[in-house]
Amino acid sequence: MIRTNEEEKQMIRDRLAEIREKLLNEDILFNPQADALIRESNILNVKLKLMGG
């Protein structure tokens, strides 16, 4: 399926919202799962910025 730029940006925003929700419920200190979510969030934020969103 081919997605438009706006659809791709919305998918990224939705995933970032999911990550934020999960991080609110995680004990972040010394937590590998939280570290992975933070890394993914950072990558998605950069991608979104590069896409102009």
Q: What are residue 3's phi and psi, to 5 degrees?
A: -105, 145
- pLDDT given for residue 4 in this prediction: 92
Nearest to residue 47, comparing CAs of 22, 11, 4?
Answer: 11
> Whole-angstrom Cα distance, residue 3 to residue 15?
16
> Whole-angstrom Cα distance, residue 19 to residue 52?
21
CA 42-45-51 angle, to 5 degrees, is 145
What would the pLDDT profile of 1-53 be if each residue is shown by its tens digit? 678 999 999 999 999 999 999 998 878 778 899 999 999 999 999 999 999 97
Q: What is the pTM of this model?
A: 0.82
- pLDDT given for residue 7 in this prediction: 95
- pLDDT given for residue 43 in this prediction: 97
